[in-house]
Structure 1
Amino acid sequence: MEKQRLSIVVKQNNLFKKMIFVLSLLIILISILLAVFGVKYNKTKQNLKTVAAQKAAVEQSLSERESLFADEKGSLNGEISKLNEQVSLKREQESRALAEANAGKVVYLTFDDGPSPNTPRIIDILNENGVKATFFVKNGGKYNGYMKNITESGNQIALHSYSHDYPQVYASEQAFFDDLQKISDLVYNETGVRTNIFRFPGGSSNTISRKYSPGIMTTLTKEVQEKGYCYFDWNVSSGDAESREQPKNTIIENCKKVPKSNTIVVLMHDSAVKNTTVEALPEIIAYYKSMGYSFGVLSEKTYPVHQKVNN
């Protein structure tokens, strides 16, 4: 009996040892599996971080490329728009030239630097001869009221400069457009007319602007047109600005030096000291009439007379 009980105890001990061994193996196996899973998890986690970083980098690159593409697209659209405007302007100018060629010979009398005490005298002579002219005005101080006389008499009022001070006007592009806006506002306040007809102080071919801003005329001649202004130079000069009071006969003879063109734009000046210009005006008008010219005022529909830009 005792032997049988001892045998059972031995069997139980052996079974317990086996169980401990198996349990130890399970613990070791689980530990190994956990270690392997942990390594794989960390590696997967790191891979996910790497993929996320790569995704973010790709998205950033795509965003930058989209932004660059949008900028390039906007720039190209801007260039296309400018080219279309230039083509449209060229076609319009060609159309004007054809229309004027068909209309015959036209002379445009223009007066710079008014209003002045001579403005009413000029208007009276124009009325007496049944013709109209274009007045490129500046700030005339106490004579600014004559601007309304210009428009009410059926003549064309146009912009020249507020100050007509070369160092100020041509100091920079901003200074130029500030001056242009001031004379535009002054004309509007005096007459109720918002005109876009314009002449550069000194003309577009002036070289004095180079002294203050080299190259500015090349830029301004393009920008004024882009802003909707029509600028005009001249192809006949009376020469009345060459001296304080040019002899009357000299002015008349200068006005007879016409180019081979159906469109004549005559430069004269309206200021307090230009009395001989006023005196010469009736004979100038008579000469052009005798040569078969009709008289007009400058407008957007007039083919522009432009000189060569020298700055």
Structure 2
Amino acid sequence: MVLVAVGLGPAWADGCFDTQGKAGKPVYLTLDTGHMGVAPLMADILNKHQVKVTFFGANERTQTGDGSLGKDWAPWWKARAAEGHAFASHTFDHTYWRADVGSDQFRVRPSAGPSEGKESVWTAAQYCAEIAKAGSRLEELTGKKPLPLFRAPGGKISPRLLAAAKTCGYEHVGWSPAGFLGDELSSEAYPNDQLLKKALRDIRSGDILLAHLGIWSRKDPWAPAVLEPLITDLKARGFCFATLREHPRYQTWIAQQSGQAPAPAAK
């Protein structure tokens, strides 16, 4: 068992600025969709600790309901929007890039939807449409325009894929080395207490963190077991949580695509 130092920490009034306007040490927690079995509990923890995250949404198969972006989960997404979270595309059918083909095509394989598990070759325009479809669905569910960002499933990308996506208005978001929180790993080989200890040891200011709203293969779920101690310990050490809207790498791009002034960076 990992003993976690829990304390009140600074009182964050707005993102990563405290009540006196002093900036903290930002980290950017991002949550990809999954089977959604732990999504309600994770949302409760985020709300309890007033942590804002960026959700990357794909319409994945779920333990209950009609897919993570389906109508059964619409109230859940609407509630997250009301809490002030940010949203971005994870490709609609959780479509993996497999290889570049020729000068402007890609071999892909969706892990959800009608073509689940089937490889095909897409043009850059088709891949862009797949990103946009998830964004449009998130906007329908949340009533908020998603960020002009996307995350490729598995983080599988190529320079050519990134260039194609950027041409149609999407910047890719990966994660920091220490930000891989390990919820996709075997719980037998990587138990929760070990993953928590590693994250608390290695995470640094500015890191983008990655976890999921449920992983089918993990027998002992990472969330919500690790989520709350991770939040409380980081906050006690002066870290704060911001969305990618405030990330210095992406804020200018987001502003350019939306025609607005950049949000203040959480530096």
> TM-score normalised to the size of structure 2?
0.63
| Pair 108,165 (structure 1): closer, same or farther in 2 beyond 3 Å | same
Aligned to 1:189: 140
Indicate the structure with greater strand content: 2
Q: Does residue 218 in structure 1 map to residue 138 in structure 2?
A: no
Normalized per residue, which structure has more helix? 1
CA distance in 1, matches of 2:128, 2:210: 23
**What amino acid does structure 1 have at the position aligned with 2:185?**
E
Equivalences for 1:1-311 in 2 at 5 Å?
103-114=23-34, 116-139=36-59, 140=68, 141=70, 143-145=72-74, 146-166=76-96, 167-168=108-109, 171-172=121-122, 173-195=124-146, 196-203=148-155, 206=156, 217-235=158-176, 236-243=179-186, 247-258=191-202, 262-271=205-214, 273=216, 275-299=221-245, 301-304=247-250
Query: The residue matched to 1:256 in structure 2 has which SS?
Result: helix
Provide the aligned C-alpha RMSD in A. 2.7
- State whether residues 160 and 198 of structure 1, in contact with CA within 8 Å, keep that contact through their aligned partners in structure 2: yes
- Residue aligning to 1:29: none
Contact 1:135 1:150 in 2 (8 A): no
Give 1:285 deviation, angstroms: 0.4
- Aligned to 1:233, what secondary structure does the other structure show? coil
Distance 2:32 2:224 in 1: 13
Mapped partners of 1:272, 1:242: distance in 2: 9
Q: Mark the structure with the bigger radius of gyration.
A: 1
SS at match of 1:219: helix
SS at match of 1:106: strand
Q: List gaps (5 residues or longer) in structure 1.
A: 1-101, 210-216, 305-311
Corresponding pairs, count: 192
Q: Provide the C-alpha distance between the structure 1 equivalents of 2:246 and 2:150, rounded to a whole number of angstroms.
A: 10
Aligned mates of 2:193, 2:126 — CA distance in 1: 39
Q: Please, which moves more after superposition, 152-161 or 292-301?
A: 292-301
Superposition TM-score, scaled by structure 1 size: 0.55
Mapped partners of 2:95, 2:44: distance in 1: 29
Q: Which runs of no fewer than 5 residues in structure 2 stay unpaired?
A: 1-21, 60-67, 97-107, 111-119, 251-267
Q: Deviations over 1:202-227 (max 9, x none)?
A: 12xx3xx6xxxxxxx21121232333
Higher relative contact order (CA 8 A, sep 6+): 2
Deviations 1:124-174 (A, max 9, x none): 101111211111111113543122222112111221121114233584323
Instruction: Give a deviation string over 1:247-299, Cα, whole Å, max 9, x none.
Output: 2213312322436x530111111126463321110111022113211111111
**Identity of counterpart residues, as a percentage?**
28
Determine if contact 1:123/1:153 at 8 Å carries over to the other structure: no
